[in-house]
C-alpha cells in the first residue's frame, strides 16, 4: 500500500492496491511505501526510543514493575504499531539462582545436562503495549554446574514460512546436537 506523508508526519492512504493511480499528490505530500510492522528505519527509530526510555530503569526496578513501566510507555505512544516482546533474566552469579520474566517473547531455554536437552522455561506473559495491566508469569530456579540458560532474539526463531513454535523446536534440537 502507498501512503502520503503530510507536512506534519501524518500518513494517509494514497493508492491502495494500485487504485487511484491517477490521483495527483497535494502540495507538501510525498509518496511513501508504508513499512511492515517491526521492519525498516521507522521500527529501528522506535526501538531506540523505547530502549532509551527504559535504559535508566533496568536494574532499579523489579522485573514486573519494569515491564509495567514499559507497557505504559508503549500504550502512551501515538504509533500505529507499538508493541514489543521482552525477556528479563536475573541471575545471582554466586548461588546460580535465577528469575525469568517474559512479555510475549519466545521462551528462555535451560540446558538439562541429565537428559542432554534444552528445556522450555515456563515464564510467560502478554507482549508489551497490547493491553493495560497485563499479567506476567515468572519462573525461578537454580543453575547448577554444567547447566545453562539460552537467551536469543525472536528473529532467530521467526520465519515467514514457519510457525514460531516450530522455530523454537528447531533451535532446541539443533543446539542439543551441538552440545
pLDDT at 56: 83
pLDDT at 58: 86
pLDDT at 96: 95
Other CB atoms within a 10 A radius of the CB of residue 106 amount to: 22
pLDDT at 17: 37
Digit-by-digit pLDDT tens for the chain (179 residues) are 333 333 334 433 333 333 444 455 556 554 443 334 455 667 778 888 888 888 888 888 999 999 999 999 999 988 877 888 999 999 999 999 999 999 999 999 999 988 999 999 999 999 999 999 999 999 999 999 889 999 999 889 998 898 999 999 999 999 999 98
pLDDT at 167: 96
Task: Compute CA 1 distance to the chain's CA centroid, rounded to the nearest angstrom.
Answer: 25
What contacts 63, CB < 8 A, 6 or more positions away?
A: 88, 90, 99, 101, 136, 138
pLDDT at 15: 36
pLDDT at 107: 96
pLDDT at 68: 96
pLDDT at 146: 87
User: If DSSP codes are grouped into helix, strand and coil, which group holds residue 5?
Assistant: strand
Cell of 30: 510525498
pLDDT at 149: 96
Cell of 158: 521467526
Amino acid at each position: 500500500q502507498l501512503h502520503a506523508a503530510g507536512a506534519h508526519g501524518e500518513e494517509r492512504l494514497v493508492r491502495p492496491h494500485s487504485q487511484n493511480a491517477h490521483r495527483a499528490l497535494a502540495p507538501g505530500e510525498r509518496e511513501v511505501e508504508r513499512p511492515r510492522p517491526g521492519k525498516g528505519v521507522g521500527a529501528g527509530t522506535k526501538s531506540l526510543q523505547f530502549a532509551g526510555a527504559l535504559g535508566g530503569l533496568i536494574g532499579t526496578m523489579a522485573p514486573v514493575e519494569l515491564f509495567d513501566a514499559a507497557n505504559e510507555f508503549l500504550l502512551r505512544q501515538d504509533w500505529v504499531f507499538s508493541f514489543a516482546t521482552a525477556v528479563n533474566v536475573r541471575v545471582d552469579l554466586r548461588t546460580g539462582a535465577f528469575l525469568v520474566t517474559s512479555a510475549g517473547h519466545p521462551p528462555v531455554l535451560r540446558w538439562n545436562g541429565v537428559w542432554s536437552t534444552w528445556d522450555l522455561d515456563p515464564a510467560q506473559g502478554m507482549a508489551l503495549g497490547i493491553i493495560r495491566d497485563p499479567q506476567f508469569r515468572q519462573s525461578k530456579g537454580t543453575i547448577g554446574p554444567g547447566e545453562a540458560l539460552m537467551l536469543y532474539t525472536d528473529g532467530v526463531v521467526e520465519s515467514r514460512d514457519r510457525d514460531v513454535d516450530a522455530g523454537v523446536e528447531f533451535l532446541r534440537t539443533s543446539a542439543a546436537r551441538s552440545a
